[in-house]
Amino acid sequence: MCGIVGYAGGDSAAKIIYDGLLKLEYRGYDSAGIAVMEQGKITVAKRVGRVQKLAPSVQILEGNIGIGHTRWATHGKPSDENAHPHTSGKITVVHNGIIENYAELKSELSAEGRIFLSETDSEVIAALIDKFYDGDLLKAVIDCARMLKGSYALLAMCEGEERIVAAKYRSPVILGLGGNGNFVVSDEPALAGNCPELCVLEDGDFAVITPLSVAVYDSMKNPVIRAVYPVAAKEQSIVLRGYPHYMIKELWESPSAVSRTLSEFAKVQYGVEKLLKDAKKIILTGCGTAYHAALVGKRYFCEICKKSAEAEYAGELRYDMPVIGCGTVLVAVTQSGETADTVEAARLYKSLNAKVIAVTNCPHSAITRISDAVVPVAAGPEICVAATKSYSAQIAALLSMALAVGRSPECEVLKRELLSAPSTILKTLEEIDIYALAEMCARSRGVYFMGRGIDYALALEASLKLKEVSYIAGSGYPASELKHGALALIDGGTLSVFLINDEALASKSANAVEQTISRGGMVSVITSLREVGEQFSGRAEVITLPSSNRYLSPFAAAAAVQFLAYRTAVTLGRNPDKPRNLAKSVTVE
């Protein structure tokens, strides 16, 4: 959460930082600000609202060194005062993370006569650095960091020093090297088109960035060396290219994301197979959409591999006081690789001698540095807050993992059929008529998605996606649970959407559809089974998907429900790319 950008070079810092903040706005868009140094003096411009509100200030801010921030509010409501950067004395900072002991520190600093202008935890950092500053900004930042409890990616500038100092602990910091200057950012897309190389800071690292150099230090000011990688993000991959929104653009990129993921898996298959084949127990975890992918993966490992498998929210898993036996493997699914709960769950299981496999879209993220193996989700940059293509690619990765370990004759057939998943997604998007169902969603008081088996996992994802971008209340339920409470919610003002793609469970789900129709509820059925579509034709809004093996059905079903959420949001006039109160990478608890 929160996007940070720093630049030191030969060009206009304000313009470069502004462009970088636009690329990182998916990390937070409650407020934004830029601080630029010219001839040793720092000027700050910050506003509540979207990054674009800074455009007039960018034209008048001069200087070649600066820092910027786009905020997702944690401490303090969105306002001009709570926007970053924050200044105290000669020091100006931006911060991503949570300072858990900020109230104690603020009280102590206030008693010393420090004046605070915001409600944020981050302003305490600026005051601490200013307190410790004695002519050496790096030393002051290190001294400040020793006082902080929590997480931080912070950038600091001091009037009179032509440099930026960065500090990193459990929030991402990436250095961009080369081009016409040097960069420090919270996520790689901000580097697209600006520099050829990057390096990733480790927890406890500090960095000094000037127009001509970048240096990394430990907490004792000893120089350290970090690996350098090419910048993978491309400028053309993060522009709309004629699409009205990133969500629909990225949905149409799902086929290529799945295809690339299947290709990348071949490169890591041996190491992953080695970890999984002797696993006594597999635990899959993630948050939000990644958890829903983990639920699908659980089915794959149980049914295809005949392995004991569980799926649990990462935020719950890390506090479950787990008993880890020999042969436990944790599969951590995270789009960003920086999701706080997922990373901390992986750290916990690693400390208890479990093996950890990361399934992630970001190759240089925190999760990759603590894992025994990494399965790439090659979806490319995903700008829309609501996940689309990364979800389909996660499912492709998890199915590939299960098939690598499975030994039944069906596995060889599935491996061949999996190669057709990209064309199945494309066929779904090209042929599906979702507009009438989107209108039904838009006028409903609540929308309830139901399914059984893998379809239940898809029902949860469908409900989340619709809530995220359209703000329509609802839930995902197992269709088997309809009579155990959910049926009380059904009336003419609510819509029930049933996903039915597993032939073995189709008749059971069909019974739930009949019960809902008999209670006067609006009903839709999304199915790849011809006989199910025929059964409810004329009595429900039927959405027909391409037929496929039940293990492959999530690819078409995901495309359908993601498209449904998008169309509903557009119908209601919502911006699906930037849903209220949400951010893309949840790097704090």
Return the sign of the alpha-carbon dihedral for residues 315, 26, 438, 572: positive
Residues of the chain with pLDDT under 50: none
Q: Provide the whole-model pTM.
A: 0.90
Residues classed as catalytic = 2, 584
How confident is the model over 382-401, as pLDDT tens digits?
999 999 999 999 999 999 99
What is the C-alpha to C-alpha distance for residues 535 and 539, in angstroms, rounded to an integer?
9
Distances (CA, A) of 552 to 309, 402, 421: 19, 13, 7
Question: What pLDDT was estimated at residue 489?
Answer: 85
Closest C-alpha among 566, 260, 563 to residue 421 = 260
Q: Where are any strands of DSSP class E within 126-280? A: 150-158, 164-169, 174-177, 181-185, 197-200, 206-209, 214-217, 223-224, 228-230
- Report DSSP state, residue 214: E
Q: With b meaning 16 or more CB within 10 Å and e meaning fewer, what string describes 123-135?
A: bbbbbbbbbbbee
**Are the CB atoms for 133 and 159 separated by under 8 Å?**
no
For the beta carbon of residue 230, count every other beta carbon within 10 angstroms. Answer: 7
- Report DSSP state, residue 233: -
| Secondary structure percentages of the chain, helix, strand, coil, to 5 | 40, 25, 35
Structural domains of the chain sorted by starting position, each given as residue range(s) with its CATH number in brackets:
3-236 (3.60.20.10), 240-419 (3.40.50.10490), 429-576 (3.40.50.10490)
What is the C-alpha to C-alpha distance for residues 224 and 217, in angstroms, rounded to an integer?
5
What is the C-alpha to C-alpha distance for residues 182 and 122, in angstroms, rounded to an integer?
24
Q: Which helix (H) or strand (E) holds 541?
A: strand 541-544
What is the C-alpha to C-alpha distance for residues 184 and 67, in angstroms, rounded to an integer?
9
How confident is the model over 307-359, as pLDDT tens digits?
999 999 999 998 887 778 889 999 999 999 999 999 999 999 999 999 999 99
What is the C-alpha to C-alpha distance for residues 8 and 37, in angstroms, rounded to an integer?
10
What is the C-alpha to C-alpha distance for residues 299 and 402, in angstroms, rounded to an integer?
10
**Are the CB atoms for 186 and 8 separated by under 8 Å?**
no
Question: What pLDDT was estimated at residue 373?
Answer: 97
